[in-house]
Amino acid sequence: MQLNGLDWSIIVGFFAATLFVGLAVAARAGRSSSEFFLSGRGMPWWLLGTSMVATTFAVDTPLLVTDIVRNDGVAGNWVWWAFLLTGMLTVFVYAKLWRRSGVSTDIEFYEMRYSGRSAAFLRGFRALYLGVFFNIVIMANVTLAAVKIGQIMFGFTAVQTVLVASLVTVVFSAAGGFRGVLLTDFLLFVVAMIGAIGAAVVAVGQPQVGGLATLLSHEAVREHLSILPDFSNKDMVITVLVIPLAVQWWSVWYPGAEPGGGGYIAQRMLAAKDEQNAVGATLLFNFAHYAMRPWPWILVGLASLIVFPDLASIRAAFPHADPSIIRNDSAYPAMLTLMPHGLIGLVTASLVAAYMSTISTHLNWGSSYVVFDFYKRFVKPKAHEKELVLVGRVSTVVMMIAAGLLTTQIESAKHGFDLLLQIGAGTGLLFILRWFWWRINPISELTAMVVSFVIAVFFFFYDKGITSRIRELVETGMDQASAAAQVGGLGSGRKLVLSVAITTLCWLLVALVTKPSDDATLRRFCRVARPGGPGWKPVYRRADADGDPIPEAAKQWTVPMGIACMVAGCFAVYSALFATGYWLYGSYMPATVLTVVAITSAVFLARVWPSVSGE
């Protein structure tokens, strides 16, 4: 596909704007590590919330949604829609706790909540595990999507795409720090949304598709439209609905949907002006992420079923692309090649925006762990501020290089999504309970992390073996479906449940048989974070007996009201999401009912907002 002068002017203008913002705030970002990573803790809710949305608007996300729609229909998106429960729990229970803690990173939390050498080890180890290893896996998955887009749309090699996509991102991330990330995220989100909507409009209007009504009535699309899975297909229901809603949302650590908050979401809550801005930011994020964005991607995925009905048609249309990376997620960039000039420039800029927003956040977030939780804590505690900023900038560049190298080992957006779920499987309940149960200690956290990682590595190579065997059978002349049936193997849902069960059992046993953190640390945590609840009663009793009582204000437990608001928030967002779908489908009765439910739930949240949004 060739870009004309208008396309290039849009793309170059976008690059120039983002670079300008990053360089404009570079001097301020370099003043201190707090400014570089948290913007001085003075950010408003709307800017932080938009940044959260922009970060999760990764370039691989529309590819993931397209992959899901083509394989499992619209209902398949429950594998990530279920994370709304996690997000709303963070909004109404954990956002206030994180902002109260006053830590610089969520990893610093470990030495606030736990005591002893094991707490220090956990902080340093997790800083490198999450900030470097896990972070690089995430960025590699995002970069893989950029590689597929580059190959299909422009004929770029993988190396060319990685160099072009990452260079500007690294420059403004290393120069502008967190403030530069937030300001550019606002621009990136606007451009990305316009591009996604434009792509959907053009995709639906393709001659082969013939408009929205024709799309929805097409025989290749009808069976993919249901928002709920086919309940006669037990395996489908269990995989895409039961497991995500019953197990996955509370048990799996996944970036952007961490049980109990964490990662770059926690970084933005910690950068908020106060508790109310932290809560408001996470609420805005969850509404926009789940209710506003999915349908443009879904429509492109549905239209692709008509234009590119199978993988062979994609390979035939793009013979220059590496056949080994052509999967169902490749249909999204394939559809984008149909855009007219001007719009293709905007869409390309929107994809660049999505990539840059996600990568810049992960680079800044990951390097904050390296600086605060490893270098300053263990390598050079007395390092001056300029040195800390330099270490942050160097680690930013190194992580980007490593992510580019790892990109070659991942096959598809769904493959990367499943890998991330497996790595974090079973750790989620611990992250939820550690705020409210005094028995959880550093050893139980280390156990959860190590066990879940070992299981994930086992299943990663297990899947590699299964895939290799299927390919061998296909090469002998057997069709793909028959080969897969003969080889068999565990599905992603069963692997997830096994990982959760084994990991959760291991860390619970360790928490019960090992010593908890010392009372001085636990009491200090109760006074600062004020979690409240029955899980801290033994600590309260011992404090009273020692003449060191915990103030009554710190014992107040707001979780029941928070859970009520979480349920109302889920009703509001899910109803808005599904109402949009039914309006598009022309099903006006369910659309009207769901719209009323969404408005009613939103009104309830507005009425109780002063009592749940913090001080």
pLDDT at 484: 75
Domain span holding position 604: 558-615
**Residue 124 backbone dihedrals phi, psi, to 5 degrees:** -65, -45
pTM for this prediction: 0.84
In a domain, 591, yes or no: yes
CA neighbor of 332 nearest in space, from 609, 540, 64: 64
| Residue 583 in domain | yes
pLDDT at 458: 86
Q: Which tokens hold the place of 282?
A: 């996470």
Alpha carbon distance 303, 66 (integer Å): 10
Considering the domain boundaries, does residue 9 fall inside one?
no
Instruction: Find tokens 């048609």 and name the residue.
Output: 313
Do residues 499 and 455 lie in contact, with contact meaning Cβ atoms separated by under 8 Å? yes
Structure tokens at 525: 């945590």
CB atoms under 10 Å from CB of 474, counted, come to 14
Of the candidates 166, 109, 603, 179, the residue with the CA atom closest to the CA atom of residue 377: 109
Classify residue 194: in a domain, yes or no: no
Q: Is residue 599 part of a domain?
A: yes
Residue among 202, 213, 237 at smallest CA distance from 343: 202
Two structure tokens written together for 524:
């200090």
Specify if 545 maps to a domain.
no
Beta bridge partners of 102: none
- Per-residue pLDDT tens digits for 278-292: 999 999 999 999 998
Q: Phi and psi (nearest 5°) for 564?
A: -60, -45
Residue 5's SS3 state is helix
Tally the domains of the chain.
Answer: 1
- Is the separation of the CB atoms in 333 and 152 below 8 Å? yes
Contact residues for 444 (Cβ-Cβ < 8 A; gap 6+)? 430, 507, 508, 510, 511, 514
CA distance 366 to 136: 9
Model pLDDT, residue 580? 96
User: Which residues does the chain have with pLDDT short of 70?
Assistant: 1, 22, 26-27, 29-36, 38, 165, 168, 171-176, 408-422, 614-615
Q: Looking at residue 282, what is its pLDDT?
A: 94
The 10s digit of each residue's pLDDT in 33-91 is: 666 676 777 889 999 999 888 878 777 788 889 999 999 999 999 989 999 999 999 99
Q: Is residue 353 part of a domain?
A: no
Report yes or no: 272 and 41 within 8 Å, Cβ to Cβ. Answer: yes
Answer yes or no: is 576 within a domain. yes
